Every structure is written in structure tokens, then in C-alpha cells.
Structure 1
Amino acid sequence: MPTSHVFAPRQRIMASAIALALTSLAVSAQADTVDGSTRTVTAPGNPNETYTVFNGGKLTLQSGTSTNWIYLDGTVTPARGASHLRADGATIIGSMLSGGTLVAALRILNSDATINNSTITSTTQAGVALTGQVGSGLVAPTATITNSTISGNQFGASVSSNGILTLNNSDVSAGTGAVAGLNGGVANFDSTVVVNGGKISGNLSGVLAATSNLGNTNSLTTINGATVTAANGAAILAEPGRNAGAFFGHTANILVQNGSTLTGSNGFAIQALGQITANATIDNSNITGNVGSDGTATLNLTLQNNATLTGDLQNLNTLAVNAGATWRLVTASTVGTTTMNGGTIDIPGAAAGTGTYRTLTLGSLSGKGNFLMGVGFPAHTADVINVTGNAAGSYQLSIPSTGQEPTDLSPLTVVKTGGGDATFAVKSIKVDAGTRTYLLAKQGNNWALVTDTNQGIDEVPTDGGGTDGGTGGGGGGGDSGSPPVGGELSPSAQLVLGISSAGPTVWYGEEAILRTRLGELRMGDQSNTGVWARTFGKQYHAKPTNSADYRQTQYGVIGGADGVVGEAWGGKWLVGAMMGTSHSKLTFDNGSTGGVNSYTAGLYATWLSAAGWYFDGVVKYNHFQNDANAIMSDGVGAIGSFNNNGVGMTLEFGRHLEFGNRWFIEPYVQTSMLRVGGDSFTLSNGMTSTTSSTGSVQLRVGAALGKTFELAGGMVQPYLKLAVVQEFIKSNQTNINGIVFNNDISGTRVEFGAGVAGQVRRNLQLYAELETSTGRRINQPWGAQVGVRYTF
């Protein structure tokens, strides 16, 4: 049989190291040979029997068989081809031979083996060693091992000489031994290793991608859905053989794919040391750990196809982040040439929202991709992309919005370049910072966030106008104030201002229902006690100056009871009590919404004279539950809630005048006063709001024109109505992040309506009305209500 190469001092031949120091292969007392023949070993076999297979021989181990070491040799007579091993359910344990020779449990020299459901163990050398010699007619060593367990001392399994090792769902481990300072669960010396599933573990490395002095080939190591760990080193280590210079200059290609995991005790998922070039690709796997070199090795990294790497990159030569892939930084990192093909670099990583900001330094940048970045507006600091060389391509920056207010309004640089035609844009176009919005602007070779002044806001509104309420809705949609420096209000600020001023709109919307109820009394039998109920719906469209348009939709139901309590001043007095509830939804063009749940109760009184004069008085209390759901410019929601109360009253004086053919006109004048208490609340994005109170004083002058038609057992009154309303309160302040805004709700509006009241029986009245209003800053596109009253 051929002997293996002999190591000279300080220049050991790596093939002999991979062969695990086999020298003379001294024959045990229970040694057997398979010379060009076929041998089948049946259970139970002999754990002390060794086998040497050569000259194209074939050894088969059946299930339950146990043997000692096995040596497949395909070099004795190359013309007779490789030797073969087939094992299924066998146990192969390599032990110390007499004379002290250390052997692998299974050595494959220019031969092949197929192993299934077996256990291969060596406590002194490798469990499986594939090696070979270079020569005419010699084949590369090959082994396919499936559903098996392999363990060794220096290596669990090793392959060299352009061999091919395929591991399917197998567990391979190495102890603490070393060959020339190298150790690993699987060692690949200029060959091909494919690991499909299973677990690989080692001491100094989980998988070793090294070089040998046989030939000048590159290696390929594929980790496919497998788990790789190292107890005292990197999960995957690329390092040349530590011997002659002939070991240097080779390339180790590494592919980690399909859900593989890498865990190195030194923090490295992949590490390259010494004079070696390593090309690493992570594909469709979520890897946590650093990837880097010692500065001598050349390490190139590609992330692709939904791969995620969470870790730092150290001394990388090139980085490619392709479509669907993400690199999440752990600390500030420096990378040389960087190419992005639709991938994402997450600079904040797990530090997002913690107030820690990083600088990513790139030698050059090209392609197209996305950067996730963090910004600390209150401290005027941010993550920074620093391209020291040329930057080319186009990139989107995903920068989160915040409800916290900036303290420094000067431009905040987030990208620095050494030149080039690269373009950067914020993915959401705008970034919110408290009450303000920011845009990304190019400044020389750099890019900075600057306040958005496209819609400058005067600190003190010059038009004095406010939101014009709809029907009974003068309190809503007030004119917003502004921050000290011009800029477009952020969506969060717009929502806070809108919902802070929504209380009066809700209150007046409910009060209008009660006012129409009192109007019914003037056509019915006032001598009886009655109960009534109304259901209603309304929508307002507010367009406040220097704020955002929004729509407020209100639905509710109100009911009550009233009756005559006496006569005075030539007329009857009726008193009643009411209660009800309504829900209002505020919607903004950017998707923000607000909700107001209102619970109301009140007392009212009506005086009706025989001459048609009347007086109505109402006192009404409301409890408001307010919910805010802001959608910031980056699409992220911010929620908050608060409660407040409101008390108001209305006084109305008018006359019901009838003339020919039962036509009637009912002019009136009404005044209303309301105070809605304030409250403080904080949105989940950090924005704070405090409203002391919201006031409203309105004067309404209007008239209704209608005709009474007598019916059998009742009557019906269709009518039209017209009113002009003036809101007088010009100052309702809301404090957002320490900035005072004025919700000016003063203004004039015109109301239109049409309805019908019918008394179908002496004790039953039905009612329906449609209404609309228009004003300079708010319109009521529609309003509708229906009701019923029953007297006893």
C-alpha cells in the first residue's frame, strides 16, 4: 500500500495532516483486506476488525454491524478505479492501533463512500477524512453521508484534494484536538463541502475553510439549512494552512443559505484570517454575528434573497446588499467598496429608539437601495452615512417621525459624500419632528434634513378668521396657530388641534336637535305630558387656515320628556329633561383619525303665548371621551386619549306668526354660550398637549317659513329655514410641546334646511329634517334627523 506524505519540520504536508497522521497503517491482529473484490459484513460484525479496501474493491456494512477503522484506497492500481464503501445502520469506531499509530475512523483516499443512518467516531483523529493523491487515472475522493453522527478529535470530517463531501441531516462534531493549529467540525481544504441540514460543531471553528498544498484549486462550502457552532472561535473560519507559502493565495467560497444559523463564541459568524481570499454569501438566512477579517485576509460579503445579517462588518474588502437582504448594524462600522442592488442597510438596528446614533463609513457607494436611519431631533443628532469616496446611484432613507420637538432648527446632516452623482430621498418624503415637518435637501456633497417651509405659517394669523361651524357646529375646526418658526404642521399636530377643538362642534350638533324638538311644541297639543326621541347624523368639512382639511362625522340619539307646569305672563310654561349620546369621527387626508364619544344630559324650558311669542332656554352638560390616532408622515401611528367636560346654555326668543291659507313664518334670535374644559394628554410618539379650556359664544338670527296642511286626525307642516350665525370667540389656546397655538373659532356661516313635522294623531308626532351650511372655513355637506313624540 502507498504511504502518506511525511511532514518536514515547519513544512508539514497538509495532505498528511488531513489524512490524520496515518503512516504505515500497521495491520492489526484482526485486520482484513478487500482487494478488488466485494465483501458484505453482516450484524453484529466485529468492533475490533479493521478493513483496508483497494484495487476497486467494494465493502458493504449492513444494519447493526460494528467495525474498527476502515481505509478506502484508490491509488494502488489506478486503472482498477476507486474503492467503495456502502454502510447503512453501521457503527465505525477508530481506535489506537498497536505501535501508536493514530487513524481516522474512515479514511477515503481517491475513493468513495455512501453512509446512511450510521455512527462514525474517532477519539484521536478525524471521524471521516477524505484525501487523495494527484496522478493520472485517480478520482477525487467523494462521500455522501445521510442521517448519521460523526465525531472526531481535531475534525469531525475533513476533505481535501478537490474532494466532495455531502452531509445530509447529520450531526458532525470535533473535540479539542488540532492539526497544525487547525480545528473544526467540518474542514474543507480546497474542496467541495455541502451541508444539508443537521448540526456542525467544533472547538476553534464550526466549519473550517482552509487550503492545502495539493493542487491550486479554490474551495466551495455550502451550508444549507444547517446549524453551525464553535465553542472557542468563529462559526465559519477561512484560514490558509499554516505551513509553506504554497498554501497561500487560494480562494474560499462560502455560501450560507435557506435558514442556516451560525454561532461563534468570539462573536464572529464568518471570519477570515491570514493570506486567503474568502467570498462569503448569505442567502435566505437570518444570521446574528460579526463578519470580518484580520486585515490580512481579503473578505468579500454578499447578502441576498431575504438574508438578514445582524452584526458588525470588520475589514471587509467589498460588500454587496442585494434585493430583499438586510444588514443590521450593532455598532459603528467601516466598509470599503459597497454595492447595493435593492437591499437595505439598517443603521440603528436594535438601538432604534434608544438615543444611540451611529456613523456608517463606506469607502464608496454605488447601486440602488434603502437605508434605515434614526434621528434625535431634541438633541439635534442622527445616524450618518459617511461615504469617504465617490457615491453613485439612488437611495431611499427611512427616517422615523417623532412627536418630540426639535431644539435646534438648523439643518441636520445625515449623509456625507466625497462627491459623485448619487441621489438620496426620504422614503416618506417628509419627516415629522413634533409640530414640524422636515424635508431632505442636498447641501454641496452632503444631504441634510431641513424644516419644510413650503407652507409657511404666521405666528399670529392675519385674517382673524376662524372655523365657521356647521349647523350648530361653530366650535369645530378652528384656525390653528403656529410654531415660532414657519413650517408645515405635522400630522400629529394637526390631529391634536382638530380634536382639541371638536368639543363645541359636538355640543352644538346635539343642541340643534333639541332646538328642533322645542319647535315641535309650537304645533302640537301643549297641554299633555310627552316623551320624544331623535336620531341624527351630520358631517362637517373643515378647512382651517394654515392647518389640514378634515372631516367630522357625527351620529347620535337623544331623548327626553316634558310637560306643562303652569301658566304665566299670558302663556304656558313647559319644562323637560333630556339625555343622549353621540359619536364623532374626525378624518384627515393623511389617514389620521380622531374619535369623540359624547354623553349628554340637560334641562330645558319653553314659554308659549297665545299670540305666538315664545322663549326657549336650555342648559346642557356633556362628558367627552376623546381618542386620537395620528398617522405620521412615515406611516407609523401614534395614539392618545383624554376626557373632558362641557357645560353650555342657549336662550332663544321668537314669534310664530300665521297668515292666510295657514302659511306661517317664525323669526327668532338665539344666543349660545359654551365652555368645554381642558385636559392634558400625550401621544405615543412623545407629543404632549395641554388645553386649558375652549369657549364659544354665538348669536343666531333666522326664520322658518312653512305651511300647515290639515289631515284627518292630524296635520302636517313642511317648512324651509334660513339662519345666519356669528361666532365671537377668537382665542382658544392649545399648548403642544410647549408651543402655544390659537384655535380661533370666530366667523360667520349661513345655514339652510328643509323639514316636515306631522301630527298623525292627537298624541303622536313625527319629524324629519335635512340641513346644510356653508362658511368660509367649514361646510356642512349634509345633516339629517328623524324623530317621534308621544303625548299622554
Structure 2
Amino acid sequence: MNKVFKKVFKAARGMMMVVNETTSSVQTGKKAAVAVAVMGALAAGTAVAAETVVEYQTTVITEDTVVAPGEYVGAADTIYHNTNGTEGAAIGYAVKKDVIASVTIADSTFKNWTVHNTGSYGVVYGAAVSVHGASSVSMTNVTIEDNAALATWKTSGVQGVGYRQQGGEFYAKNLTIKGNVADGDTMGGGISLLDISKGSIENLTVSNNAIVNNIRETVPNFGVAVGAGLSAAYRPVNLTITNATFENNTIDSVYAYGGGIYIESYTPTPAGATTMTFDTLSVKGNRAEGSGLGVGGGMAIFQEETQVTIKNAVFEGNMANDYGGGIYNSGNLTFSGTNTFTDNTADIGNDLYNEGTITIQDGKTTFNSGIESDGVLNVAAGATLSVAGKTIITALTGEAGATLELGSTADVVVNNAIDGLNLVGAGELNDTTGGDVQAVVDAVKNTDKGSFKSVGMAEGEVMGAVTATVETDANGEVVVAGKTVAANEKTESLSDQVTLAPQMITRIMMNDVRKRMGDLRASEGTHGVWARYNGGEMSGSGMKADFNMIQVGIDTVPVADAPRFGVAFSYAQTDAEGDAGLAKTEIDSYSLAVYGTKMYDNGLFVDVIGRLATTESEITVLRNQAAMNNLALSASGELGWRFDVTKSFFVEPSVEATYTYTNGSTFTMGRGNYELEAAESLVGRAGVAAGLTCPNNKGEVYVRAAVVHEFMGDTTMNSRIGNFSAAPIVTDGKDTWFEYAIGAQYNVNKNTYVYADVERTGGAALDEDWRANVGVRYSF
């Protein structure tokens, strides 16, 4: 026997043997402990005075039985007691020998029953419900809560305070067992199952059950409590439990085993092994507090014959005094799917203490708080074992292609016997060590058979994934011979969002005089006021952005033949989305501009504009948020010439250059610190417009096209976490695209005109799917 099991076996076996012997002796008695049906007083619904002795009626069933649905509620001031073998204060059945019958319970609640056994070697079975014999039990929509089973004689025991079944088959759906309390040497504070040949439970909640004040230190082998939530022990159980929750179940005893769940096979008498499968399991906040020994805060598994499979489970915040805060195992335990252990505590093995056999069959099982394995820990090909915290694995065995992930390297000792192990440092470890893959290698010692198939570190929050090559040096130590670091995909996604701000500023601010104010030749006044809407949609490189801008301006010609000088203010709002909706940016921009425009009689025109803009960006990537502010300075000049080919047809070539400087900005997101360096942009445009003028100077319609080139536009984003910096993300901003549009202007009268055009671009990394420009100008 292993070292913990020797202690547990000696104490627990004494309790179980006494329980079994008592059960046998009581069953041969005149009143048979497993003989209580719905008692006369309860069936009649009459109150029973406190401390009243209830004469239990023997009910031996010989045919299928259906319990009437309803609420079976005990009187708060009533204690049911007997001198030997009290069973089922609410309902109890025994199946006649050589008879196979079924018991069906549905849509019922069993609440506030208290049973008290004062006899020598007496045993309390199921304060609410107890079934015994070769029966098949079916429960649907049943709640068992706030019941108590007290066995105060020095060697008395309790089995299944809320529900106890021995023998037959057990099937349940939507079963809740909560708030039950036991005092004494107890198997199953909430539920006890023995000798179940087969069965299943779907949607099980076991919470806030307790085994208390069990401190019989003066009596050898007693003061033993197992499974405050569930006990499947002594006799073999074959059961599948799906979608189960065990929360806040506690044991306060000399010896405490399995705060949430206790599972054991007792062989060779009676022969047989317990086999249990849990699929979708939550085990949280359970406690095994033993003044002598506390084992398995969340779950305790004993005996190598015991077979337990856990699929898709969460063990969190469980506690044991001594071994295995999450799980203690000396049986045969298999993990499948995704399993996570977090914040479990124990003196040895916070998440897990293993003296039996554990197999990670598939998926990923993560122990975040530390494990100790002195038994067999086997990882199948394609499966991942992830460990962090204080970890000791005496022997890691398994198949080539298995993966071991280390969340930390301090206090980690792993002896690897897998030939072809994939060894990887977790992303958080990558961030905290700056990609120190050698520390990962040093934490794992290969035995004669052990070797690494691959070595690396997963992508962190900031640091990129690491792929390493290793070799054995002259001293026989495995050392890193070389490594490559990939760009961090999350940082790249963030960079796409962050660098969007200067790109958008440049593209939105870039507007020729026709976009801004229409055809000024139609303006006859000295002074003018105007307003326009400019909005659209841009997309490209996995990004999509909608923008809307309102701009208003006022201008004047101070003296005859002077240029028209003006000032304009604008507000723009942009919503951008990338990476299939996982990254989003909201940008608010405010701009103040001054401009000067001169229209010559020969068709020549010159337009110069300077802008000062601020942007406020709210960035979200994978639910992490950041804020960034930028200041932009921009200047542009446009030169064009209008040629009237005929009286009603014109051609207008033009060129424009726009320079924009956007300052740098720093921000934090998650645990990372980021810096967007200052960016510069120089955009040149050459194009032509051609159109028709309307009779009587009523306006014009036109088409235009241009080729545009970005000569600068590069951006650099730096990222840092703790004392370590990742490689900068540099984006090449140089680009060329084409733009084309159709537009019109309508002169309402000699003082007022309206103008509009619709534009598209193509060929750029970020293109305009459409852009609408609509404005009105009034002159006086």
C-alpha cells in the first residue's frame, strides 16, 4: 500500500466494517432497518410532537412502486429516533428477497427531516429517502434538502443523509441535494450509493452538505467521514454522472476524505470494482478538514481497482488539510476533454496528489496550483498536460506526441520517460521570462528513455511564440542550440487597430477644393458660409471601417483680386472592426483648418489648406481595452486648370500633395505596455475631371478619376511586458491606388448652390468601398 492509503485504509475500513456488520444485524431483526415506507403520521399529514417515538412500519415491496409526487416536509420541532437502525424518515423501502421491483419518484421535495439513532452500533440510513435491495430506482425533478442524520452513540454511523441506496440500479434526472447535515462516522453527507450495478444521473447539484462534529478520537478507527457531497464506496458502483455540480460541501472530522466526492472499491469481499464516469463536472469550494488527516478536498479516489473517468471538469477553490486539495487519487483515474484546476489548496499537492495511475487521454488538463505525483502519470499522444505552481512528477510516461506545458519553472521537477515529448512553456511564462526557453528545458529531466520531439514556448500576451532546437552538451545536459521568435498575433491584431488612426486621419483629411466647397466659380459673393457631410466605408487587410464627418466653414475675399481665405471646423466619427469581430476601434476626430483659394479667370486655380486635428481612440481586442490620443498636423496644396473645350464641356486636370504628421502615443492593454511611434505621411494625387455645364448657369455634372500614391506612411508599434520587450511591429505604409467618382452641382440661385459626389477607390491596402460628399454653400 502507498503511504497515504495506509493511513486512510486503516481508519476508513474500521468505520465501513462496523457499518456493514450493523446493517446485517439490523436487517435480521424483527423490524428490519430498511423497512420504513411513508409513515402513517406523514401520510396523514398530521404533526408529530417533539421527541415522539415513532413506531416504524415494515414495508417490503414485491412489485413496482410509484411514490406520489408532492412535498414531504418534516415538522421543524420533531426528531425521529430509534435505538437501532433508523432508515428513511420520509420514505424507506426494502425489496423482498428474490424479487426485482422498481421504485419511481418524480416531482417531489423531501425537506426538514431529522433522524436520530441512540442505539449501540446503530446506523442511520437516509434521513430523507433510503432504498435497499435488488431494485431499480428512478428519480426525476427531485429535491432533497435541509435534512439531518444524527448518530451520537460512540460507534454509530450515517449513510447518505439525503439519499441512500444499496443494490439494484439507479437513474436520476434533475436531482438536487443540498443543505443536509450529518453527525457521526458518515459515508455520504448528501448521497450514498453502494452496490449499484448500473445507472446514470443527469443534471445533478450537490451543495452545502456537511459532516460536522465528528471527533471520536478516544475510540479506535472512528471519527471517520467520507464524501460530504457523494460517497460511492464499500460495495462496487457502476455509474455515469452528466452535468454535475458539487459546491461548498464540508467535512469536519478527525479523518476527512473527499470533501465533495468519495469513491472506493472494497475488494475482494464483496468482489467487484467501482467504475464511475463524470461528464461536465464542476467541483468548487469543498473542504476536507481533518484534525488527524484531511485528504481530497474536491474528490478522493481509493484502491487501484477503482476506475474513474472525468470529462470536461472544473475544480476550483477546494481544500484539504494534507493531501490533494483538488483530488487525491490512489485508484485509476482518466481525464478527457478540457479540465481545469485553479486555486485548490493542500499541504501536499494543491490541485492533485497521485499515488495511483492517472491517464491524460485526450484534450488538455491544466493544473494551475501545483501537483505531486508519486504514482503513474501517463499522457497519450495528442493530449496535453499543463502544470504550474509547485510540481513534482516522479515519472512522466506516455506516448510520442504527448505534450507537457509548463506554466512556471520555479519549484517544478519532472522526470520524463516519454520518448518524443512535446515540451512547451505556457504563454504567461513566455511573458514573465522574456522567452527563456532554457528555463523550460531545465525543469524537465529526461530518463534513459525520455527525449524531446519539440521544444518551444506558446505565444503570450505580448511575447511571440518561440520554437527552439536543443542538443546535449559535453556534460550530458540538454541545452538550447537556437531559437526563432514569431510575431505575436494578438499584438499584430492590435497594431492593425492602432495604426488605423493615422491612416484614417490622412485619408479623411485629404480632400480637394471641389470636395470641400464644390465649384467656387459659381459663387458670386465676397463672403461665404458652407457645410458638408463626408462619410463612407473603407475596408481591406481584414479591416472594415465606417466613417462620418461634418464640416462647416466660413470664408471671405478681403480685397478685390485677393485669394479667398477661410476657416473650417470638422468632427469625424469612425467605427472600425477587424479579425472577424474580435478587434474593434472607435475614433473621434476634431479638426480646425485654415485655407486660401484663388480662382483665376483663365481657369487656373490654387488651393492651400493647413489643419490641426486631435483623435481619441477606444480600442478593444479580445475583450481587452485601451485608449489612445493623437495629435495630427497636416498641410496640402492643390493646383489645377479648367479648360472649357466647348461652351458646355470642360476638362479639369489637377495635382495635389498632402503631408501629415501624427505624434506618437503610449497606452496599456491587459498586462502589456505599448507605444505607437510618430508617423509621417506624404500623399500625391494626379487626376482629371470632365463634365458638362447646364444652360443658364444652373450647375454641372462631372466624372473624375485620379491615381494616388503614398510615399511614406510607415508605422511602428513597440510592445513591452514587465522588463521584456517584444520585436516591434512595423507596417509598410507605401501604397498606390486609384479613385474615381461621379458628381453634380446645382445652383439654386445666384447666392446658393448644393453639390454632391460619390467616390470609390481600388488597389490599396485600405480602400474606399464608397464615399459620399454632400454640401451646401451660401454667398453674400
TM-score by length of 2: 0.64
Q: CA deviation at 1:690?
A: 1.6
Which residue number in structure 1 is paired with residue 678 of structure 2? Answer: 693
Give the Cα–Cα distance (whole angstroms) in 2 for the partners of residues 16 and 357 of structure 1. 38
Q: Secondary structure at the match of 1:531?
A: strand
What pairs up with 1:40-51 in 2 under 5 angstroms? none
> Could you say if the C-alpha distance between residues 758 and 408 of structure 1 is closer, same or farther in structure 2, counting changes exceeding 3 Å?
closer
Are 1:607 and 2:607 counterparts?
Answer: no
Q: C-alpha offsets along residues 625-659 of structure 1, whole Å, 9 cap, x if unaligned? A: 1122224xxxxx43212222222222334443434
Are 1:410 and 2:410 counterparts?
Answer: no
Give the Cα–Cα distance (whole angstroms) in 2 for the partners of residues 441 and 374 of structure 1. 23
Structure 1 contact 239–274 (Cα < 8 Å) conserved:
no
What pairs up with 1:589-600 in 2 under 5 angstroms? 591-600=582-591
Letter in 2 for 1:436: G
What pairs up with 1:493-508 in 2 under 5 angstroms? 493-508=491-506
Q: CA deviation at 1:111?
A: 9.1
Give the Cα–Cα distance (whole angstroms) in 1 for the partners of residues 103 and 765 of structure 2. 81
Match of 2:331 among 317, 321, 325: 317
Are 1:559 and 2:559 counterparts?
Answer: no
Letter in 2 for 1:601: L
- Matched length: 645
Which residue number in structure 2 is paired with residue 640 of structure 1? Answer: 626
Which residue number in structure 1 is paired with residue 289 of structure 2? Answer: none
Q: Secondary structure at the match of 1:580?
A: strand
Give the Cα–Cα distance (whole angstroms) in 1 for the partners of residues 51 and 669 of structure 2. 68
Q: CA deviation at 1:434?
A: 1.3
Are 1:279 and 2:274 counterparts?
Answer: yes
Letter in 1 for 2:258: F
Q: CA deviation at 1:318?
A: 0.7
Which residue number in structure 2 is paired with residue 649 of structure 1? Answer: 635
> Could you say if the C-alpha distance between residues 584 and 308 of structure 1 is closer, same or farther in structure 2, counting changes exceeding 3 Å?
closer
Q: CA deviation at 1:525?
A: 1.9
Q: C-alpha offsets along residues 418-449 of structure 1, whole Å, 9 cap, x if unaligned? A: 989999999xx9744415245799999xxx9x
Which residue number in structure 2 is paired with residue 791 of structure 1? Answer: 779
Letter in 2 for 1:300: T
Q: CA deviation at 1:177?
A: 2.6
> Could you say if the C-alpha distance between residues 62 and 219 of structure 1 is closer, same or farther in structure 2, counting changes exceeding 3 Å?
closer
Are 1:157 and 2:122 counterparts?
Answer: no
Q: C-alpha offsets along residues 331-378 of structure 1, whole Å, 9 cap, x if unaligned? A: 253544345677763422xx5xxxx79889753345987767679999
Give the Cα–Cα distance (whole angstroms) in 2 for the partners of residues 272 and 768 of structure 1. 78
Q: CA deviation at 1:678?
A: 2.1
What pairs up with 1:717-736 in 2 under 5 angstroms? 717-728=701-712, 732-736=715-719
Structure 1 contact 627–641 (Cα < 8 Å) conserved:
yes
Give the Cα–Cα distance (whole angstroms) in 2 for the partners of residues 650 and 150 of structure 1. 91
Match of 1:63 among 37, 41, 58: 41
Letter in 1 for 2:187: V
Match of 1:626 among 613, 617, 626: 617
Letter in 2 for 1:704: V
Structure 1 contact 292–316 (Cα < 8 Å) conserved:
no
Structure 1 contact 705–720 (Cα < 8 Å) conserved:
yes
Match of 2:210 among 220, 223, 229: 229
> Could you say if the C-alpha distance between residues 753 and 416 of structure 1 is closer, same or farther in structure 2, counting changes exceeding 3 Å?
farther
What pairs up with 1:736-775 in 2 under 5 angstroms? 736-737=719-720, 738-739=725-726, 741=728, 743=730, 747=734, 749-761=736-748, 762-773=750-761
Give the Cα–Cα distance (whole angstroms) in 2 for the partners of residues 339 and 268 of structure 1. 21
> Could you say if the C-alpha distance between residues 378 and 774 of structure 1 is closer, same or farther in structure 2, counting changes exceeding 3 Å?
farther
> Could you say if the C-alpha distance between residues 316 and 493 of structure 1 is closer, same or farther in structure 2, counting changes exceeding 3 Å?
same
Q: Secondary structure at the match of 2:678?
A: strand
Give the Cα–Cα distance (whole angstroms) in 2 for the partners of residues 769 and 431 of structure 1. 47
Are 1:710 and 2:694 counterparts?
Answer: yes
> Could you say if the C-alpha distance between residues 788 and 150 of structure 1 is closer, same or farther in structure 2, counting changes exceeding 3 Å?
same
Q: Secondary structure at the match of 1:523?
A: helix
Give the Cα–Cα distance (whole angstroms) in 2 for the partners of residues 337 and 238 of structure 1. 24
Q: C-alpha offsets along residues 537-595 of structure 1, whole Å, 9 cap, x if unaligned? A: 345555xxxxxx34352422233233433236x44434242323231415246843333
> Could you say if the C-alpha distance between residues 681 and 328 of structure 1 is closer, same or farther in structure 2, counting changes exceeding 3 Å?
closer
Q: Secondary structure at the match of 2:602?
A: coil
Q: C-alpha offsets along residues 143-178 of structure 1, whole Å, 9 cap, x if unaligned? A: 999665422245322899968798984724124433
Q: CA deviation at 1:615?
A: 2.6
Are 1:680 and 2:656 counterparts?
Answer: no
Are 1:436 and 2:464 counterparts?
Answer: yes
Letter in 2 for 1:264: I
Which residue number in structure 2 is paired with residue 80 of structure 1? Answer: none
Structure 2 contact 299–326 (Cα < 8 Å) conserved:
no
Q: Percent identity?
A: 13
Match of 2:22 among 17, 22, 25: 17
Structure 2 contact 265–306 (Cα < 8 Å) conserved:
no
Give the Cα–Cα distance (whole angstroms) in 2 for the partners of residues 143 and 671 of structure 1. 88
The structure, 1 or 2, with the larger RCO (C-alpha pairs under 8 Å, 6+ apart) is 1
Which residue number in structure 2 is paired with residue 466 of structure 1? Answer: none
Q: Which moved more, 1:638-647 or 1:429-438?
A: 429-438
Tell me which structure has the larger Cα radius of gyration.
Answer: 1
> Could you say if the C-alpha distance between residues 606 and 128 of structure 1 is closer, same or farther in structure 2, counting changes exceeding 3 Å?
same
Structure 2 contact 360–385 (Cα < 8 Å) conserved:
no
Unaligned runs of 5+ in 2: 1-14, 90-95, 215-223, 287-295, 317-324, 345-349, 391-404, 473-477
Q: Which moved more, 1:362-371 or 1:87-96?
A: 87-96
Give the Cα–Cα distance (whole angstroms) in 2 for the partners of residues 60 and 719 of structure 1. 92
> Could you say if the C-alpha distance between residues 275 and 581 of structure 1 is closer, same or farther in structure 2, counting changes exceeding 3 Å?
closer
Letter in 2 for 1:121: Y
Give me the CA root mean square deviation. Answer: 5.9
Q: CA deviation at 1:681?
A: 0.8
What pairs up with 1:389-408 in 2 under 5 angstroms? 404=431, 407-408=434-435
Give the Cα–Cα distance (whole angstroms) in 1 for the partners of residues 366 and 446 of structure 2. 18
Give the Cα–Cα distance (whole angstroms) in 2 for the partners of residues 90 and 367 of structure 1. 63
Q: Secondary structure at the match of 1:672?
A: strand
Which residue number in structure 1 is paired with residue 11 of structure 2? Answer: none
Q: Secondary structure at the match of 1:436?
A: coil
Q: Secondary structure at the match of 1:503?
A: helix
Which residue number in structure 1 is paired with residue 352 of structure 2? Answer: 333
Structure 2 contact 527–557 (Cα < 8 Å) conserved:
no
> Could you say if the C-alpha distance between residues 220 and 309 of structure 1 is closer, same or farther in structure 2, counting changes exceeding 3 Å?
farther
> Could you say if the C-alpha distance between residues 782 and 200 of structure 1 is closer, same or farther in structure 2, counting changes exceeding 3 Å?
closer
Letter in 2 for 1:407: G
Q: CA deviation at 1:18?
A: 3.8
Give the Cα–Cα distance (whole angstroms) in 1 for the partners of residues 602 and 501 of structure 2. 38
Give the Cα–Cα distance (whole angstroms) in 2 for the partners of residues 14 and 717 of structure 1. 99
What pairs up with 1:161-560 in 2 under 5 angstroms? 169=144, 171-179=147-155, 200-207=180-187, 218=195, 228-231=209-212, 232=214, 234-236=225-227, 251-253=235-237, 257=241, 262-265=249-252, 266=256, 268-269=258-259, 270-271=261-262, 276=267, 279=274, 281=276, 283=278, 286-288=282-284, 289=286, 290=296, 297-298=303-304, 300-303=306-309, 309-310=315-316, 311-321=325-335, 330=344, 331-335=350-354, 336-338=356-358, 345-348=365-368, 362-366=376-380, 381=409, 404=431, 407-408=434-435, 410=437, 412=440, 431-437=459-465, 487-513=485-511, 515-518=513-516, 520-541=518-539, 549-560=541-552
Structure 1 contact 559–578 (Cα < 8 Å) conserved:
yes
Q: CA deviation at 1:740?
A: 6.4
Letter in 1 for 2:326: D
Give the Cα–Cα distance (whole angstroms) in 2 for the partners of residues 188 and 678 of structure 1. 69
Q: Secondary structure at the match of 1:626?
A: strand
TM-score by length of 1: 0.63
> Could you say if the C-alpha distance between residues 675 and 197 of structure 1 is closer, same or farther in structure 2, counting changes exceeding 3 Å?
closer
Are 1:122 and 2:81 counterparts?
Answer: yes
> Could you say if the C-alpha distance between residues 406 and 672 of structure 1 is closer, same or farther in structure 2, counting changes exceeding 3 Å?
farther
Letter in 2 for 1:787: G
Letter in 1 for 2:210: T
Give the Cα–Cα distance (whole angstroms) in 2 for the partners of residues 526 and 60 of structure 1. 102
